Protein backbone atom coordinates (compact mmCIF):
# COMPACT_ATOMS: atom_id res chain seq x y z
CA UNK A 1 0.00 0.00 0.00
CA UNK A 2 2.80 2.41 0.89
CA UNK A 3 4.56 1.65 -2.38
CA UNK A 4 1.37 2.36 -4.31
CA UNK A 5 0.88 5.67 -2.50
CA UNK A 6 4.39 6.76 -3.46
CA UNK A 7 3.80 6.15 -7.16
CA UNK A 8 2.96 9.17 -9.27
CA UNK A 9 0.47 9.39 -12.11
CA UNK A 10 2.34 8.98 -15.41
CA UNK A 11 2.11 11.67 -18.02
CA UNK A 12 0.68 11.04 -21.46
CA UNK A 13 4.18 10.93 -22.88
CA UNK A 14 5.25 8.31 -20.30
CA UNK A 15 2.24 6.19 -21.20
CA UNK A 16 3.01 6.41 -24.91
CA UNK A 17 6.64 5.42 -24.34
CA UNK A 18 5.50 2.40 -22.33
CA UNK A 19 3.00 1.34 -25.00
CA UNK A 20 5.54 1.83 -27.76
CA UNK A 21 8.09 -0.37 -26.02
CA UNK A 22 5.61 -3.20 -25.39
CA UNK A 23 3.75 -2.95 -28.69
CA UNK A 24 0.44 -2.35 -26.90
CA UNK A 25 -2.52 -0.46 -28.29
CA UNK A 26 -3.51 2.84 -26.67
CA UNK A 27 -7.17 3.81 -26.46
CA UNK A 28 -7.76 7.55 -26.07
CA UNK A 29 -11.01 7.89 -24.14
CA UNK A 30 -10.65 11.63 -23.55
CA UNK A 31 -13.01 14.47 -22.71
CA UNK A 32 -12.75 18.20 -23.20
CA UNK A 33 -11.16 20.00 -20.21
CA UNK A 34 -13.31 22.25 -17.98
CA UNK A 35 -13.77 25.95 -18.84
CA UNK A 36 -10.93 27.17 -16.61
CA UNK A 37 -8.38 24.77 -18.11
CA UNK A 38 -5.63 26.44 -20.19
CA UNK A 39 -5.97 23.84 -22.97
CA UNK A 40 -9.76 23.80 -23.18
CA UNK A 41 -9.79 25.09 -26.76
CA UNK A 42 -6.55 23.47 -27.91
CA UNK A 43 -6.67 20.07 -26.22
CA UNK A 44 -6.99 18.12 -29.47
CA UNK A 45 -3.98 19.88 -30.97
CA UNK A 46 -2.01 19.38 -27.76
CA UNK A 47 -2.66 15.64 -27.69
CA UNK A 48 -1.78 15.25 -31.35
CA UNK A 49 1.47 17.13 -30.79
CA UNK A 50 2.47 14.72 -28.02
CA UNK A 51 1.48 11.64 -30.04
CA UNK A 52 2.99 12.63 -33.38
CA UNK A 53 5.96 14.82 -32.46
CA UNK A 54 7.14 13.91 -28.96
CA UNK A 55 6.57 10.16 -28.71
CA UNK A 56 7.89 7.26 -30.74
CA UNK A 57 4.66 5.29 -30.84
CA UNK A 58 3.42 4.39 -34.35
CA UNK A 59 0.09 6.12 -35.10
CA UNK A 60 -1.42 2.75 -36.01
CA UNK A 61 -1.16 1.73 -32.32
CA UNK A 62 -3.39 4.62 -31.24
CA UNK A 63 -7.17 4.12 -31.12
CA UNK A 64 -8.63 7.62 -31.48
CA UNK A 65 -11.98 7.72 -29.69
CA UNK A 66 -12.85 11.46 -29.28
CA UNK A 67 -15.38 12.60 -31.87
CA UNK A 68 -14.41 16.28 -31.60
CA UNK A 69 -12.72 17.54 -34.77
CA UNK A 70 -12.47 13.99 -36.10
CA UNK A 71 -12.20 15.17 -39.71
CA UNK A 72 -9.25 17.44 -38.91
CA UNK A 73 -7.54 14.68 -36.94
CA UNK A 74 -7.82 12.32 -39.92
CA UNK A 75 -6.33 14.95 -42.21
CA UNK A 76 -3.34 15.46 -39.90
CA UNK A 77 -2.69 11.74 -39.35
CA UNK A 78 -4.67 9.20 -41.43
CA UNK A 79 -2.94 6.24 -39.73
CA UNK A 80 -4.68 6.82 -36.40
CA UNK A 81 -7.31 4.13 -35.89
CA UNK A 82 -10.59 6.04 -35.79
CA UNK A 83 -12.75 4.48 -33.08
CA UNK A 84 -16.39 5.04 -32.13
CA UNK A 85 -17.83 4.53 -28.67
CA UNK A 86 -21.43 4.04 -29.80
CA UNK A 87 -23.41 1.89 -32.21
CA UNK A 88 -24.29 3.96 -35.23
CA UNK A 89 -25.68 3.18 -38.68
CA UNK A 90 -23.19 1.37 -40.86
CA UNK A 91 -23.27 4.19 -43.40
CA UNK A 92 -22.17 6.71 -40.74
CA UNK A 93 -19.35 4.44 -39.61
CA UNK A 94 -18.03 4.08 -43.13
CA UNK A 95 -18.40 7.78 -43.88
CA UNK A 96 -16.31 8.67 -40.80
CA UNK A 97 -13.70 5.99 -41.60
CA UNK A 98 -14.40 4.15 -38.34
CA UNK A 99 -12.30 0.98 -38.17
CA UNK A 100 -13.02 -0.04 -34.57
CA UNK A 101 -15.90 0.09 -32.08
CA UNK A 102 -15.41 0.38 -28.32
CA UNK A 103 -18.60 -0.96 -26.72
CA UNK A 104 -19.84 -2.40 -23.44
CA UNK A 105 -20.00 -6.18 -23.51
CA UNK A 106 -23.74 -6.22 -22.76
CA UNK A 107 -24.56 -4.19 -25.89
CA UNK A 108 -23.08 -6.53 -28.50
CA UNK A 109 -24.18 -9.86 -29.96
CA UNK A 110 -22.27 -12.38 -32.04
CA UNK A 111 -24.32 -11.51 -35.13
CA UNK A 112 -23.41 -7.84 -34.76
CA UNK A 113 -19.71 -8.71 -34.49
CA UNK A 114 -19.93 -10.70 -37.73
CA UNK A 115 -21.82 -7.89 -39.43
CA UNK A 116 -19.15 -5.36 -38.47
CA UNK A 117 -16.40 -7.75 -39.55
CA UNK A 118 -17.83 -7.80 -43.07
CA UNK A 119 -17.06 -4.06 -43.22
CA UNK A 120 -13.56 -4.52 -41.73
CA UNK A 121 -14.68 -2.93 -38.46
CA UNK A 122 -13.17 -4.50 -35.34
CA UNK A 123 -14.92 -4.60 -31.96
CA UNK A 124 -13.35 -3.94 -28.56
CA UNK A 125 -15.42 -4.82 -25.49
CA UNK A 126 -15.13 -3.35 -21.98
CA UNK A 127 -14.80 -4.16 -19.13
CA UNK A 128 -14.08 -7.89 -19.52
CA UNK A 129 -12.31 -9.23 -16.44
CA UNK A 130 -13.82 -12.67 -15.80
CA UNK A 131 -12.53 -15.75 -17.67
CA UNK A 132 -16.04 -16.94 -18.54
CA UNK A 133 -16.97 -13.54 -19.99
CA UNK A 134 -13.71 -13.44 -21.91
CA UNK A 135 -14.58 -16.90 -23.27
CA UNK A 136 -17.98 -15.68 -24.47
CA UNK A 137 -16.34 -12.71 -26.21
CA UNK A 138 -13.77 -15.05 -27.72
CA UNK A 139 -16.41 -17.42 -29.09
CA UNK A 140 -18.40 -14.47 -30.45
CA UNK A 141 -15.46 -13.39 -32.61
CA UNK A 142 -14.57 -10.20 -30.73
CA UNK A 143 -11.14 -8.92 -31.75
CA UNK A 144 -10.04 -7.34 -28.43
CA UNK A 145 -11.19 -6.52 -24.90
CA UNK A 146 -10.43 -3.95 -22.22
CA UNK A 147 -9.79 -5.66 -18.89
CA UNK A 148 -8.87 -4.95 -15.29
CA UNK A 149 -7.29 -8.41 -15.02
CA UNK A 150 -4.97 -8.81 -18.01
CA UNK A 151 -2.62 -10.94 -15.90
CA UNK A 152 -5.40 -13.54 -15.63
CA UNK A 153 -6.72 -13.46 -19.17
CA UNK A 154 -3.34 -13.53 -20.91
CA UNK A 155 -2.68 -17.05 -19.57
CA UNK A 156 -5.79 -18.45 -21.28
CA UNK A 157 -4.90 -20.49 -24.36
CA UNK A 158 -8.46 -21.40 -25.26
CA UNK A 159 -11.97 -20.36 -24.19
CA UNK A 160 -13.65 -22.07 -21.29
CA UNK A 161 -16.73 -22.60 -23.46
CA UNK A 162 -15.57 -24.72 -26.39
CA UNK A 163 -18.41 -23.70 -28.72
CA UNK A 164 -18.64 -21.89 -32.00
CA UNK A 165 -20.79 -18.73 -32.21
CA UNK A 166 -23.54 -20.75 -33.92
CA UNK A 167 -23.50 -23.39 -31.18
CA UNK A 168 -23.53 -20.72 -28.49
CA UNK A 169 -26.47 -18.96 -30.13
CA UNK A 170 -28.33 -22.26 -30.47
CA UNK A 171 -27.77 -23.08 -26.80
CA UNK A 172 -28.93 -19.60 -25.81
CA UNK A 173 -32.09 -19.95 -27.93
CA UNK A 174 -32.87 -23.39 -26.47
CA UNK A 175 -32.42 -22.01 -22.96
CA UNK A 176 -34.94 -19.27 -23.73
CA UNK A 177 -37.42 -21.80 -25.11
CA UNK A 178 -37.06 -24.07 -22.08
CA UNK A 179 -37.60 -21.09 -19.77
CA UNK A 180 -40.72 -20.12 -21.71
CA UNK A 181 -42.04 -23.69 -21.51
CA UNK A 182 -41.50 -23.79 -17.75
CA UNK A 183 -43.38 -20.52 -17.32
CA UNK A 184 -46.30 -21.86 -19.39
CA UNK A 185 -46.37 -25.09 -17.38
CA UNK A 186 -46.45 -23.16 -14.11
CA UNK A 187 -49.25 -20.99 -15.45
CA UNK A 188 -51.27 -24.04 -16.55
CA UNK A 189 -50.72 -25.75 -13.20
CA UNK A 190 -51.87 -22.65 -11.34
CA UNK A 191 -54.96 -22.38 -13.57
CA UNK A 192 -55.78 -26.10 -13.07
CA UNK A 193 -55.31 -25.80 -9.31
CA UNK A 194 -57.58 -22.76 -9.04
CA UNK A 195 -60.23 -24.44 -11.20
CA UNK A 196 -60.09 -27.62 -9.11
CA UNK A 197 -60.52 -25.65 -5.89
CA UNK A 198 -63.52 -23.84 -7.38
CA UNK A 199 -65.17 -27.13 -8.39
CA UNK A 200 -64.57 -28.65 -4.96
CA UNK A 201 -66.08 -25.59 -3.25
CA UNK A 202 -69.12 -25.71 -5.51
CA UNK A 203 -69.58 -29.43 -4.88
CA UNK A 204 -69.41 -28.97 -1.11
CA UNK A 205 -71.93 -26.15 -1.26
CA UNK A 206 -74.28 -28.36 -3.28
CA UNK A 207 -73.96 -31.23 -0.80
CA UNK A 208 -74.71 -28.91 2.13
CA UNK A 209 -77.82 -27.50 0.44
CA UNK A 210 -79.22 -30.99 -0.24
CA UNK A 211 -78.72 -32.05 3.38
CA UNK A 212 -80.61 -29.01 4.69
CA UNK A 213 -83.43 -29.56 2.26
CA UNK A 214 -83.79 -33.18 3.38
CA UNK A 215 -83.76 -32.13 6.98
CA UNK A 216 -86.57 -29.62 6.39
CA UNK A 217 -88.55 -32.26 4.59
CA UNK A 218 -88.24 -34.60 7.56
CA UNK A 219 -89.35 -31.86 9.95
CA UNK A 220 -92.37 -31.13 7.77
CA UNK A 221 -93.26 -34.78 7.67
CA UNK A 222 -93.17 -35.06 11.44
CA UNK A 223 -95.32 -31.96 11.80
CA UNK A 224 -97.80 -33.26 9.29
CA UNK A 225 -98.07 -36.55 11.10
CA UNK A 226 -98.78 -34.77 14.38
CA UNK A 227 -101.46 -32.71 12.70
CA UNK A 228 -103.14 -35.78 11.31
CA UNK A 229 -103.08 -37.48 14.73
CA UNK A 230 -104.72 -34.50 16.37
CA UNK A 231 -107.44 -34.63 13.80
The model's pLDDT over 66-100, given as tens digits with 9 standing for 90+, comes to: 888 899 999 999 999 999 999 989 999 999 999 99
Residue 45 lies in domain: 2-163
Same domain, 156 and 66: yes
The model's pLDDT over 202-217, given as tens digits with 9 standing for 90+, comes to: 666 666 655 444 444 4
pTM: 0.65
- Name the domain count of the chain: 2
Same domain, 26 and 126: yes
Which of the listed residues 127, 144, 163 is the one where a domain comes to its end?
A: 163
pLDDT at position 47: 92
Which of the listed residues 135, 163, 191 is the one where a domain comes to its end?
A: 163
Q: How far apart are CA 112 and CA 187, in angstroms?
A: 35
Same domain, 122 and 191: no
Q: Do residues 123 and 100 lie in contact, with contact meaning Cβ atoms separated by under 8 Å? A: yes
Which of the listed residues 107, 140, 163 is the one where a domain comes to its end?
A: 163
Q: Which of 48-52, 136-140, 165-169, 173-177 has the lowest mean pLDDT?
A: 165-169
Same domain, 60 and 119: yes
When pLDDT is averaged across residues 111-116 and rounded to a whole number, the result is 92
Task: Indicate which CATH number applies to the domain containing 7.
Answer: 3.20.20.190
Residue 56 has pLDDT above 60, yes or no: yes
Q: How far apart are CA 50 and CA 17, in angstroms?
A: 11
Same domain, 10 and 111: yes
Amino acid sequence: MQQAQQQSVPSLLDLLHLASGSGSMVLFDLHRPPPAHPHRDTWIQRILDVVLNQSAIPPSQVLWLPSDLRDQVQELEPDLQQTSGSQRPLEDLQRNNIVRLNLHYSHVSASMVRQYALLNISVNLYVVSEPWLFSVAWCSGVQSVTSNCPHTLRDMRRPLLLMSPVQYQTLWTLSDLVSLLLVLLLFCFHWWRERSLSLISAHRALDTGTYISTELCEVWSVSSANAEDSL
